[in-house]
Structure 1
Amino acid sequence: MNIKIVCVGKLKEKYLKQGISEYAKRLTKFCKFEIIEVPDEKAPEKLSSAEMEGVKTKEGIRIIDKLKDKEYVYALAIEGQERSSEEFAQELANLATYGHSDLAFVIGGSLGLSKAVMQRSNAQISFGRFTLPHQLMRMVLTEQIYRGFMINAGSPYHK
C-alpha cells in the first residue's frame, strides 16, 4: 500500500518533526509512506471572502497537482465524517481489499480546502470539531494511520 499526506506549509517545530518521523519509520513495515508539502499562499491577516477563496484556490491547485488519478483521496475537514480508530482501521483494510492501494490524505492551509480539492476527494474525514494547528494535525493523522495498521494486525498497541 502507498500512503501519502499532502499538506500546505512547512513543518517548523522540531518536536512535531520528531514525532512524525517516529511514526513514519514505524509505518515502513506496512506501507510506503511519504509527506508532500506544498507552499502556503502568503496573505494578510484580514481578508475578504473573495480573497480567502483566492488563497484556497491557489493552494488547491498546488494540492491537486500532487494527487494522482488512481489515488483514493481523503480530505481532512471539520465538516467531514468522524470515525473511531477501529472504523478507520476497517476502512483502510476494505480499501486495500477492493483495489485502492494508493491513498492520499490532504490537509489544507489555515483557511481550509478549496472546493476543487473537496470535489476531488473520495471521502472527507474529521477528527472532531476542535481546531488544531495544521502542523500538529500531521502528527495526529500519521499516528492514526499507524494505529489503523496496528489494529488490523491484531497488535496490543491500540489498548
Structure 2
Amino acid sequence: MKIQLICVGKLKETYLKELIEYYTKIITKKYPFEIVEVPDEKTPDNASAKEEEKIKELEGQRILSKIPSDSLIIPLCIEGKPYSTEQFQKKWCQWNRENISCVTFIIGGSLGLSKNVISRGKLKLSFSHMTFPHQLMRLILVEQISLLSHL
C-alpha cells in the first residue's frame, strides 16, 4: 500500500524536518511513502470570511490535483473522528485486507481545508478538538504512520 501525505505550505523548521525524516525512514522500510507540498496562499490581515473561503478553495484545487484516482482520501480536520492509536491501527489492518492501493492523508494550511477536499474524504480524521499548527500536525501524523510499519 502506498502512503501519500499532501500538505499545504512548506516546512521551514529544521528540527521538524529532521524528525519527519527520521520517521519517514521507518515508514519507507515497509511502505512506499511520499510527502507532497502544495503552495499556500497568502492570507491578508483582517481577511473576510469570503476571502478565507476563496483561499481555501484555491489551496483545495491544488490538493485535489495531486491525489491519485484510486486513493482512499483521509483529510485531517477538527470535525473529523478521533481515533486512538489502537483504533487507527485496526482500521489500517482492515484497509490492508481490502487491498487498498493508496492512502492519501491531507493536512490543510492555516485556514484549514476547503469543503470540496473534506467531502472527498472516506474517513475524516481528527487528532484533537484543539487546533495545532499544521507543521506540527505533519510531524504527529508521520509519527503515527511510522507505528503502522510494525504491524
| TM-score clears 0.5 | yes
Q: Which residue of 1 aligns with 2:141?
A: 141
**Matched residue, 1:46:** 46
| TM-aligned CA deviation for residue 148 of structure 1 | 2.8
Number of the residue aligned with 1:92: 92
Q: Give the structure 1 partner of residue 115 of structure 2.
A: 115
* Comparing 114-123 and 31-40, the one that deviates more: 114-123
TM-score normalised over the length of structure 1 = 0.92
Larger RCO (CA under 8 A, 6+ residues apart): 2
Instruction: Give yes or no for contact 2:76–2:124 (8 Å, CA) kept in 1.
Output: yes
Off by >2 Å, runs of 4+ in structure 1: none
Counterpart Cα distance in 1 of 2:104 and 2:26:
18
- Indicate the RMSD between aligned Cα atoms, in angstroms: 0.8
* Corresponding residue for residue 81 of structure 1: 81
The whole-number CA distance in structure 1 between the counterparts of 2:119 and 2:68 is 14
Letter of the 1:118 counterpart: I
Which amino acid letter does the alignment assign opposite residue 125 of structure 1? L
Gaps of 5+ in 2: none
Alignment identity in percent? 46
- Number of aligned residue pairs: give it: 151
**TM-score for the superposition, normalised by structure 2:** 0.97
8 Å contact kept, 2:31–2:149: no
Q: Which amino acid aligns with 1:111?
A: L
Alignment correspondent of 2:9: 9
* SS of equivalent residue, structure 2 residue 147: helix
Please state how far the C-alpha of 1:25 moved relative to its aligned partner: 0.4
